[in-house]
Chains A and B, each alone.
Chain A
Amino acid sequence: MNIIEVSGLTKHYNDFLAVDHINFAVKEGEIFGFLGPNGAGKTTTIKMLTGLARPNEGSAIINNKDIIRQTVEAKKTIGVVTEDSNLYDELTVADNLEFTGQLYDVAGSERESRIKKLLSVLGLESKRDVKFAKLSKGMKRKVTIAAALVHSPSVLFLDEPTTGLDVLSARVLHMMIRELNQKGVTIFLTTHYIEEADRLCDTVAIIVGGKIKEIAAPEEFKLKTESKNLEEAFIEITGRKEEIMLAEKGIT
Chain B
Amino acid sequence: MAMSGSEIKGAFYIALKDMKTYYFKAPNVSWGIMFPVVMTLAFVFRNPSGLKELVPGLLAMSILFASTSAEAIVIVFERRTKTFERLLLAPLSLQSILWGKVFGGIIFGFLISSLFLISSALFLKISIANFAFLILSLILSALVFSAFGTFISVYVREIFDAMTLANFFRFPMIFLCGVFLPVSSMPPLIRAAAYLFPLTYSVDLIRFFLTGQYDTVNPLSCVTALIVYSIVLFYFSVLILKRRMEQ
Contact = CB atoms under 8 A, between A and B. Distances in A.
Interface of A: 13, 50-54, 71-73, 75-76, 80, 82, 84, 86-91, 95, 99-100, 102-105, 147
A105 B89 CA distance: 13
B127 interface: no
Contacts of B52: none
B21 A82 contact: no
Q: State the majority secondary structure of interface residues on A.
A: loop
Contacts of A76: 91
16 contacts: A51-B88, A52-B89, A73-B91, A82-B89, A86-B86, A87-B83, A88-B21, A90-B22, A91-B17, A102-B9, A102-B10, A103-B13, A103-B14, A103-B90, A105-B6, A105-B9
Given A53-B245, A90-B21, A91-B20, A104 B90 contact: yes
B82 A99 contact: no
Given A82-B82, A82-B85, A86-B82, A105 B10 contact: yes
B81 A86 contact: yes
B44 interface: no
Nearest to B96: A72
Interface string B52-96: 000000000000000000000000000001110111111111000
Q: State the majority secondary structure of interface residues on B.
A: helix
A52 B245 contact: yes
Nearest to A95: B20
Nearest to A53: B245
Contacts of B247: 13
Q: Which of B21, B89, B93, B247 has the most CB of A within 10 A?
A: B89
Q: Which of A13, A95, A99, A147 has the most CB of B within 10 A?
A: A99
Contacts of A87: 83, 86
Interface residues of B, number: 25
Contact of A99 (B9, B17, B85, B88): B17
A190 to B, nearest CB: 15
Interface of B: 6-7, 9-10, 13-14, 17, 20-22, 81-83, 85-93, 245-247
B10 A103 contact: yes
Contacts of B88: 51-52
A86 B91 contact: no
Nearest to B4: A72
Contacts of B22: 90
Given A82-B82, A84-B82, A86-B81, A72 B91 contact: yes
Given A95-B20, A103-B91, 7 more contacts: A72-B92, A72-B93, A73-B91, A75-B90, A86-B86, A88-B17, A105-B9
Contacts of A90: 20-22
Contacts of A104: 90-91
Contacts of A50: 89
Q: Which of A72, A73, A90, A91 has the most CB of B within 10 A?
A: A72
Contacts of B93: 71-72
B21 to A, nearest CB: 5
Contacts of B85: 52, 82, 86
B106 to A, nearest CB: 19
